[in-house]
């Protein structure tokens, strides 16, 4: 399998990784954010008093068991759900304004490719909608397909690609309109472990190179610790933040970093926090 950066010479003079967000502006600011779904029998508290600040250039993972509201939290950032309490800003704007300004690219759990469009035309979909001129669309589609190593598959239809390839197309699609913020909802959840490892490493390189803000929802502790500058541990019923764990693993790390004592120590802290969340349950 090719890598996300293999085809681009850019990697050679890649800028320093953006893992020192100390002086960076705040990308996402949530204060006492709450969301309650009104259902037929009883209201469901999906989010309860969530406070979190994410700086530009950070890679933040949201981890927690199913139903802990991590996807809901991300959907609130994307203005796909409306919070019922508290405040949230995205790049200093309300989520709706940020969405209208096309501030973020969203990678869903499933690739969500349109089956009647070729890979290349799937990539051009957001560009068409945003009114990018035709030549620029073609150029960007070619550039980002190259970046995810799928240049040779441009004219294939989604069903002709493997699951991992489809998900890479959906990542390229989210990058194609060059948003500063990338929201990724368990993008590798449905893939086998080997493909997943590979894409993890590629994503890390991509983040180091582009200095985007990435928010990443996952079930997997190794994935979260390996990728992130911070891991946010969440717990269900009601969805809330239990702990925020810094993981300053060395920059330009490879998958081997997962066997270092530092990595294992952080993973251990994350696991303990997750377990603490579960002890509240029945």
Partner 1 sequence: MTTDALSRPLGQPSAFGRLYNGTALPVAVVLAIVVVAWYLGAIWLNAGLVEQRLAQAEKPAGLAEFVHTAWSLDRPVLPAPHQVAIEFYDSVFTRDVTSPRSLVFHAYVTGSATLVGFVFGTLLGVLLAVGIVSWRTLDRSLLPWIITSQTIPILAIAPMIIVVLGNVGLTGLMPKAVISMYLCFFPITIGMVKGLRSPDPLQLDLMRTYSASPSQVFWKLRCPASMAFLFPSLKVAIAISLVGAIVGELPTGAQAGLGARLLTGSYYGQTVQIWSALFMAALLGMALVAAVGVVERLTLRHMGARP
Q: Which residues bind partner 1 (CB under 8 A)?
A: 78-80, 99-100, 102, 104-106, 108, 110, 112, 114-118, 125-126, 128-130, 157-159, 177
Distance in Å, CB of 239 to partner 1, minimum? 20
User: Given the complex with partner 1, which of 64 and 179 has the nearer CB atom?
Assistant: 179
Distance in Å, CB of 145 to partner 1, minimum? 17
Contacts 24+ apart (CB under 8 A), 122-125: 122/158, 122/169, 122/173, 123/169, 123/172, 123/173, 123/176, 124/176, 125/173
Three-state DSSP class for residue 51 = strand
Distance in Å, CB of 126 to partner 1, minimum? 5
Whether the Cβ atoms of residue 11 and residue 30 lie closer than 8 Å to each other: no
H-type alpha helices, the chain: 70-77, 95-100, 119-129, 134-147, 163-176, 193-210, 221-227, 261-279
Whether the Cβ atoms of residue 199 and residue 211 lie closer than 8 Å to each other: no
Whether the Cβ atoms of residue 182 and residue 212 lie closer than 8 Å to each other: yes
Distance in Å, CB of 114 to partner 1, minimum? 7
Distance in Å, CB of 174 to partner 1, minimum? 9
User: Given the complex with partner 1, which of 138 and 243 has the nearer CB atom?
Assistant: 138
Distance in Å, CB of 255 to partner 1, minimum? 30
| Residues whose CB falls within 8 Å of the CB of residue 203, separated by 6 or more in sequence, listed in order | 4, 171, 214, 227
Distance in Å, CB of 90 to partner 1, minimum? 12
Whether the Cβ atoms of residue 31 and residue 86 lie closer than 8 Å to each other: yes
User: Phi then psi for 253, rounded to 5 degrees?
Assistant: -75, 155
Whether the Cβ atoms of residue 149 and residue 168 lie closer than 8 Å to each other: yes
User: Given the complex with partner 1, which of 106 and 226 has the nearer CB atom?
Assistant: 106
User: Phi then psi for 160, rounded to 5 degrees?
Assistant: -85, 0
172 class by beta-carbon count within 10 Å (0-12 exposed, 13-18 middle, 19+ buried): buried
User: Given the complex with partner 1, which of 126 and 222 has the nearer CB atom?
Assistant: 126
User: Given the complex with partner 1, which of 102 and 219 has the nearer CB atom?
Assistant: 102
Distance in Å, CB of 98 to partner 1, minimum? 10
User: Given the complex with partner 1, which of 115 and 133 has the nearer CB atom?
Assistant: 115
User: Given the complex with partner 1, which of 48 and 176 has the nearer CB atom?
Assistant: 176
User: Given the complex with partner 1, which of 90 and 224 has the nearer CB atom?
Assistant: 90
């Amino acid at each position: 399998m090719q890598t996300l950066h293999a085809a681009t010479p850019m990697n050679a003079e890649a800028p320093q990784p953006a893992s020192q967000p100390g002086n960076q502006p705040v990308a996402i600011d949530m204060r006492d954010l709450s969301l309650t779904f009104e259902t037929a029998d009883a209201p469901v508290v999906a989010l309860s008093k969530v406070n979190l600040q994410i700086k530009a250039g950070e890679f933040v993972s949201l981890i927690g068991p199913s139903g802990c509201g991590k996807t809901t939290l991300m959907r609130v950032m994307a203005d796909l759900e409306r919070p019922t309490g508290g405040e949230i800003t995205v790049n200093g704007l309300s989520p709706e304004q940020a969405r209208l300004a096309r501030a973020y690219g969203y990678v869903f759990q499933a690739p969500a490719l349109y089956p009647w469009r070729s890979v290349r035309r799937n990539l051009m979909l957001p560009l068409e909608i945003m009114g990018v001129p035709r030549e620029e669309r073609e150029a960007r589609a070619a550039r980002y397909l190259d970046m995810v190593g799928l240049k040779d598959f441009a004219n294939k239809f989604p069903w002709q690609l493997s699951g991992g390839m489809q998900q890479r197309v959906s990542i390229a699609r989210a990058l194609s309109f060059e948003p500063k913020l990338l929201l990724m909802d368990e993008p590798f959840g449905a893939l086998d472990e080997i493909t997943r490892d590979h894409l993890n490493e590629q994503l890390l390189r991509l983040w180091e190179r582009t200095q985007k803000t990435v928010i990443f929802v996952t079930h997997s502790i190794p994935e979260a610790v390996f990728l992130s500058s911070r891991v946010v541990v969440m717990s269900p019923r009601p969805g809330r933040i239990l702990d925020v764990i810094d993981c300053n693993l060395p920059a330009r790390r490879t998958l081997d970093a997962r066997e270092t004592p530092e990595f294992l120590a952080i993973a251990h802290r994350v696991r303990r926090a997750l377990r603490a969340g579960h002890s509240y349950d029945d």
